[in-house]
Amino acid sequence: MDLLFTYIVPLASVTALFICWRLWALMSITTKSKIAFFIRKVLVYTVVIRRRSTSSDTTTYGALNILLFLTANLTACLFKLSDIRHLAERCGMLLMINLVPLFLGGRTNLFIDRILRLSLDDYTLMHRWLGRVCVLLGLVHGIVNSVTSSSSTSETILLSILASLGVLSFIYIRRLKYEVFIKTHLMLALVLIGFLWFHVCFYKSKAVICLGIATGLWSLQHIVWFARLIYRNPTPSTSNVAFRHHQGPAQAAELTIQLEKPWDVSPGQYVYLTFPSLARNRAGFIQTHPYVVAWVDGSDITVLIQRLKGFSDALFASKGSRYRTVVDGPYGSYQSVENYDKVLFMASGIGIAAHLLAIKHLLASHNDCKARVRRITLVWFLETTEQEMWAQGFLDKLIETDDRDIFTSATFTPGVIANGDSVARYTYDINGASSIRRRHIRTNKPLDVSWYIEQESKLEAGNMICVDLQDSKKLSGMV
């Protein structure tokens, strides 16, 4: 029976894949586009679990992957289970297997970023659920063995490490001191893998192979990461970092870094920055913080930093104008929107930083006749009127490069605007200034976002994509 089942399942799978492939080949381009649109809308973009800040939202696709992963592990644990000892053995073996993808690395993972092309949110979600399942499997394995037989000192230590990893990973705990959590998490993971080598019996070849692969992947990833870090920062003491503060209730700064080893910066890329000389908790040299690249000019990259609690607050409080820095990156990849006729960018507050370079890239591609886009629109919701100064210089540069007048923007401000409900932000003394005013406005009127998107889609013929980067709670208050 088992042999027959082993034959039928692969045969049925291959046959189903062949039928689907042939049906897809027979479909028209319009039908394929509609199916692809439906799949993206339902699976990729529909959020089923909206999380709090510092945690990732879960889409339908992500939820299905989590459900499939949990079902597979649960089935592997309980299918044809003979006794409780058998359960402990299975949980231990599954722990070894799940350690392989878990130990691919953390947030600075080159394999995930460059080869698999997973976004940081997707990988973080995968990493967290892999970790939770590994902790649960390890605890079940250790507790059952302790109940059915005498436990050794190494087993007790392993149970303590697993319990510590599980407790410290709760969102309410890791949010309190995230930087402390990151370093503690790494140290506990290394201690865990070290004790597992002493715990695993070497005659259990499958467990040793899995543990060896996990250790090798983690080591290789960090060797490559460290080599690239040294290559990008041969002499960190000579890196030039300049601050330009924007004062007001909502403070921000432009941080410009002169790269010693420049790279071709793509929109959407981000870097991790370390300031060794920043004496924050006496540990500035081991703290890394991610920032999206907002602008690039030759070998200089610029990031926008909003003053919040923690690291950014210490950075502003230091009142320095130049710092030594270590740049780790780039990470992330460009999600091309050049094949759309209309592109609508929406952002609130500091979210504008993620759109500036993308708009610059689209304008350059359009001027060089390399992009299909014929209309670029930016909608920016301000939380305070002072935030407009954060990106005004960059927006001025975008308008100057807009040779064919395809870029429009609307800034929605809170409160009352002194010169009326709707006035031009730009007052250049050039020909066609009235046209610029019509295309770039600021207003304090409320906006129905759904209506605005619908109106944008009707302005010109062609397909349109909306690139959204904003806080849904803040956005709902604007509607």
Fold of the CATH domain 342-478: Rossmann fold (3.40.50)
Task: Choose between 429 and 275: higher pLDDT.
Answer: 275
Q: What share of the chain in percent tops pLDDT 70?
A: 84
Q: Kindly tell me if the per-residue pLDDT of 473 is higher than 80.
A: no
Of 402, 398, 408, the C-alpha closest to 437 is: 408
CA distance 355 to 395: 11
CATH among 2.10.10.90, 3.40.630.190, 2.40.30.10, 3.55.50.30 for 236-331: 2.40.30.10
- Is 253 strand, coil or helix? strand
pTM score: 0.80
Q: Which residues on neighbouring strands pair with residue 379, listed in sequence order?
A: 346, 410
Length of the chain equals: 479
Task: Choose between 474 and 142: higher pLDDT.
Answer: 142
Task: Give the pLDDT band of residue 67 (cuts 50, 70, 90).
Answer: very high
Decide the pairing of beta strands 464-469 and 300-306.
unpaired
- Decide if 268 contacts 358 (C-beta within 8 A): yes
- Decide if 361 contacts 373 (C-beta within 8 A): no
pLDDT of residue 238: 42
CB atoms within 10 A of CB 15: 10
- Decide if 341 contacts 375 (C-beta within 8 A): yes
* 435-469 tens-digit pLDDT: 555 677 888 888 788 888 888 888 877 888 888 76
Q: Which residue is associated with the tokens 């870090």?
A: 229
Distances (CA, A) of 470 to 41, 100, 233, 433: 19, 35, 33, 30
Task: Choose between 41 and 380: higher pLDDT.
Answer: 380
* Token pair in block for residue 231: 């290559």
Task: Give the pLDDT band of residue 70 (cuts 50, 70, 90).
Answer: very high
- Decide if 374 contacts 341 (C-beta within 8 A): yes
Q: What are phi and psi of 255, to 5 degrees?
A: -115, 110
Asked if 236-331 and 342-478 have one fold, the answer is no
Q: Kindly tell me if the per-residue pLDDT of 432 is higher than 50.
A: no
* Token pair in block for residue 395: 């927006």
Helices in 169-246 by DSSP H: which ranges?
A: 171-174, 178-199, 205-232
Of 208, 118, 200, 195, the C-alpha closest to 162 is: 195
Q: Where are the domains of the chain?
A: 49-230, 236-331, 342-478
Task: Choose between 342 and 105: higher pLDDT.
Answer: 342
Task: Choose between 110 and 17: higher pLDDT.
Answer: 17
> Where does residue 138 fall: left (phi above 0), alpha (psi -120 to 50 degrees), or beta otherwise?
alpha
